[in-house]
Structure 1
Amino acid sequence: MAATLAKVPACVLRSGFLTSLKNNYWSRWTGTRAQNMATLPFLCSMFRGKASTSQRLVDRLVRDPTVVQGNWKIDARQQSNYAFRGATHNALEEQKHDNEEETTQETLRPDEDIVSVVPRADISGKCVVANTNIKAGTHLFTLYGDKLRQPTPYTIQVASHSHIHPEGKLIFVNHSCSPNTQFQYSPSWDLYAVRDILPGEELTFDYTTTEWQMAQPFQCNCCNTKCIHKVQGFYFLNPEQKAEREAVISPVIREQLEEQTSTE
């Protein structure tokens, strides 16, 4: 360094040019550093903003269960195809709770296992039997399940081209021409005991009160004095059998009966 300065003319050293150049370089370097330091908080705020956006999205998913439930989205089409739940399952539970407060009928709570599904002894298949005494008027099941346009041997007709594949134990309730349960159709389709049911007794309802034409007719084994023998649907009953069931048929069967009567 000293050797380099020795080569500089004395007039340049006395003028202070080198000192000025040094100071200028230092000021420029410190100014750039200061500018970079001033930029750092801005970059940090950007990262914080991204993190907060992600957090807000997570918070939304947690707070709003309708956005994602489990690993799949619920859309309007899926909800409309899941019949007789109301808008949601919670809506149905709220409606049932309101109905319980407005009526004196005994209602089956989900934690009360008063019925069981067991194999039938006389034929292949299963049935629903009472585990305890069930009084007349006791609510047993609410109809809900997948909606189908075509009937199957297990569906229940709820409109002219709409059939419900029942969920739960209701799907195992068999037919009888002298049943101990029957449906009530408002506001939802609910199965009630129509008389006292003893422990071990099978629960049954009359399929012809809900089916206009059965998808798969079958032979009845109820051995009742008024047994129709072959269960094919309400359409195939004789006038006397139709009159006996007219008070308890579903709105769908009533509508089709009126259409049939008007065309005859």
Structure 2
Amino acid sequence: MYLSTFGDNTLFPEPSAFTLADKDFLTGKSIQVLKSFKRKEKIAHITGEVNDIISPDSVQIGPEQHLHDPYVLGMLTHSCDPNTYFDVKNRHLVAAKSILENEFLTIDYTQTEDYLFRQFQCRCKTAKCKGWIHGRKEAQVKRSEGGEI
């Protein structure tokens, strides 16, 4: 999943375990697993450029520090009841629950972000759905007709 210029860390996502697939019309491409993972199992080591820019492909790793990763983290779909979480300290993607072969990887954007690149209407349809997704330190902005700001 990562370019060869990132090196050959054996903990990087293996192409034999993941694929990019169309999830649905609204989501587009997302990461689908080709093997099962147990709860708390380390799925992959994550890498990327660290800077102070919030983007759709970044994850906050510290105050005003963001890890920009369009290859893996940027391809994870949001869910209010996610099957993964990002271990910020070790930069590992970890299974939050058992993940079966062919499932799409999901993450809760609100777990790591003080401010989101863009707030949005959640469409995860889980029992834990928060409805409107925004960062931990930002107020919910008024929703527009289309559901996004």
Q: TM-score, normalised by structure 1?
A: 0.46
Q: Is the CA contact 1:142–1:189 (under 8 Å) kept in the aligned structure 2?
A: yes
Give the 3-state SS of the residue equivalent to 2:85 in structure 1: strand
Q: What runs of 5+ residues in structure 2 fail to find an aligned partner?
A: 141-149
CA distance in structure 2 between the partners assigned to 1:177 and 1:228 by the alignment: 7
**Residue type matched to 1:168 in 2?**
Y
Q: Is the CA contact 1:144–1:167 (under 8 Å) kept in the aligned structure 2?
A: no
**Residue type matched to 2:99 in 1?**
I
Give the 3-state SS of the residue equivalent to 1:163 in structure 2: strand
Q: Is the CA contact 1:155–1:166 (under 8 Å) kept in the aligned structure 2?
A: yes
- In the alignment, which residue of structure 1 is the partner of 2:120? 218
Indicate whether 1:115 and 2:18 are aligned.
Answer: yes
191-200 or 206-215, which moves further after superposition? Answer: 191-200
Cα pair distance change 1:211/1:110, threshold 3 Å: closer
Give the structure, 1 or 2, with the largest relative contact order (CA under 8 Å, sep 6 or more): 2
Which has the higher Rg, Structure 1 or Structure 2? 1
**Residue type matched to 2:76 in 1?**
V
1:172 to 52, 63, 75: 75
- In the alignment, which residue of structure 2 is the partner of 1:194? 96
Indicate whether 1:144 and 2:79 are aligned.
Answer: no
116-125 or 208-217, which moves further after superposition? Answer: 116-125
RMSD of aligned Cα (Å): 2.7
Alignment of 1:80-119 (within 5 A): 93=9, 111=14, 113-119=16-22
Higher helix share: 1
110-119 or 169-178, which moves further after superposition? Answer: 110-119
Q: What runs of 5+ residues in structure 1 fail to find an aligned partner?
A: 1-69, 71-84, 97-107, 239-264
Higher strand share: 2
**Residue type matched to 1:217 in 2?**
Q
- In the alignment, which residue of structure 2 is the partner of 1:208? 110
Q: TM-score, normalised by structure 2?
A: 0.77
Count of residues in Structure 1 that have an aligned counterpart in Structure 2: 136
